[in-house]
Amino acid sequence: MAAVATCGTGAGSTGSVVAAGSKNNVTSFQRRGPRASGSDSSYSRLVSIAGTRPSVRNGQLLVSTGLPALDQLLGGGLAVGTVLLIEEDKYNIYSSLLFKYFLAEGIINGHTLLVASAKEDPADILQELPAPLLDDNVKKDFDEDACNHKTAESNIKMKIAWRYQLLPKMEQAGPVSSSRFGHYYDASKKMPQELIEASKWHGFFFPEKSSSTLNIEPCSLTHGYIKLLQFIQNIIYEEGFDGSNPQKKQKNILRIGIQNLGSPLWGDDICCMENGNSHSLTKFLYVLRGLLRNSLSACMITMPTHLIQNKAIISRVTNLSDTVVGLESFIGSERETNPLYKDYHGLIHIRQIPRLNNLIYDVSDVKDLAFKLKRKLFTIEWVQDNYLRQERNIYPPGFSYLLKQKDSAWGEGSLQHSTFLMSFLAKETAFASRLVRHSEPLEQTGSGRALQAAGPRLWRDGRRQEAPGLLVTPP
């Protein structure tokens, strides 16, 4: 089971952790604020930003990605000032869903959004966001057992099964509480219009902006990337997310979402040609990261890496991003028919997690992760070992089975013993177990004196009889 040490889903611990990192104290809980500014006043104002919490490990300010399951795998959330790169699945179904979760989380928390796309108008993207799961609906959908964890502390991880950790703590029925860190979304419903209108967002739709002139000399970046960088830098400066604008004191996070970066719609040809403009995308990522590091913002980028012809670019892009998550859906692949994966829709690979302000990082021990989109929830689970899973389907643990070991008589055993042999003995064992229960006293036919299970007639006349050997061959 994954041993990720995270807090529960409550966000009540922000105050106590910040108190540990006072102005000149250099404990490991030192908050890393807007990285350019060294002013100590930034510490106090960062406490009260909605939708963020400090990381347990190093006091890093984290925001939720919109998927509590993914937050736990990334060590608590996405660090402010970093880039999360999602490698898209083949048909861009689940990556666009993750993109929408990220934006929806921003709206619920009241963050400012910046949506950039070359394919869809950002206004349309915002209309399609999933609705948050309200608390009274949640009670109907989840099991009653899970509801009883209302009074459990957030630290009971080993007792609860892994799956129950993903369920939210029950709170009083009411409107969606924005003080919680991660929220659950219903992919089948749309976000209410009033929430979208109440939110602050900026959209960048490349086909609309491509006609305006450049006021930067042409470097090797493509036109689209230059305009996008200028747009982002403008918003960060104008709205005061980097603390450099004296008129604006910003207490909010800017969530930047860039869709399908690197696709030909942005004017980049790395997906079309092997020897395309190989530096445009990497330069863009470098300057973007420079912008993010100095401001209160977090960015999610989806990139169709399966289309990039030159594999060297993918490794360079990975090195230039902070967190990299790859999605692989089973649609159209041979894994769709594999019985091991029949409950799941795809695999999720955590390719890179950054080591920020630290030599070590939070990494889960579980590497084989699969995701599925149930009616409403996007869950990520550990895919068990293939052999063991099939075994447990045929031979549920807790029962006892007859085992035949080489050259000896039948004996009774349970699943823990010689699991390996049982797959060879499937039919005979099942047969034999029925015979034990209903048979007449057995004659000894073999020569072995192996220990036998005590059958119903073994004790006869107060004296133990010889254990029978082989069973009577069934007709």
Which lies closer to other proteins via its Cβ, residue 27 or residue 44?
A: 27
Among 85, 291, 369, 402, binds other proteins (CB under 8 A): 291
Q: Which amino acid is at 71?
A: D
Gap between the Cα atoms of 150 and 144, Å rounded: 11
22 lies in the binding site for other proteins (CB under 8 A): no
Q: Alpha carbon of 448 to those of 46, 368, 441, 445: distances in Å? A: 77, 46, 18, 9
Q: What is the DSSP letter of 340?
A: G
Among 210, 338, 358, 384, binds other proteins (CB under 8 A): 358
Which lies closer to other proteins via its Cβ, residue 108 or residue 301?
A: 301
Q: What is the DSSP letter of 453?
A: -
Gap between the Cα atoms of 60 and 6, Å rounded: 13
Among 197, 211, 213, 218, binds other proteins (CB under 8 A): 218
158 lies in the binding site for other proteins (CB under 8 A): no
279 lies in the binding site for other proteins (CB under 8 A): yes
Q: Which amino acid is at 242?
A: D
Burial class (CB in 10 A: 0-12, 13-18, 19+), 271: buried
Which lies closer to other proteins via its Cβ, residue 115 or residue 314?
A: 314
Q: What is the DSSP letter of 6?
A: -
Q: Using alpha carbons only, what angle is made at residue 267 by residues 266 and 269, rounded to the nearest 5 degrees? A: 115
Q: What is the DSSP letter of 159?
A: S
Gap between the Cα atoms of 373 and 208, Å rounded: 34
35 lies in the binding site for other proteins (CB under 8 A): yes
Asked if residues 51 and 300 have their Cβ atoms less than 8 Å apart, the reply is: no
294 lies in the binding site for other proteins (CB under 8 A): yes
Residues whose CB is less than 8 angstroms from the CB of residue 392 and which lie 6 or more positions away in sequence, other chains included:
none
Asked if residues 335 and 383 have their Cβ atoms less than 8 Å apart, the reply is: no
* Stretch 392-431: interaction string toward other proteins, x if CB under 8 A: ----------------------------------------
Instruction: Name the one range near other proteins by CB under 8 A: 91-99, 354-362, 419-427, 463-471.
Output: 354-362
Among 28, 41, 210, 423, binds other proteins (CB under 8 A): 28
* Stretch 49-68: interaction string toward other proteins, x if CB under 8 A: ---------x----------
Among 143, 153, 197, 365, binds other proteins (CB under 8 A): 365
**Footprint of other proteins (CB under 8 A):** 26, 28, 30, 32, 35-36, 58, 216-220, 229-230, 233, 279, 282-283, 286-287, 289-291, 293-294, 311-312, 314-316, 319-320, 355-360, 363, 365, 367
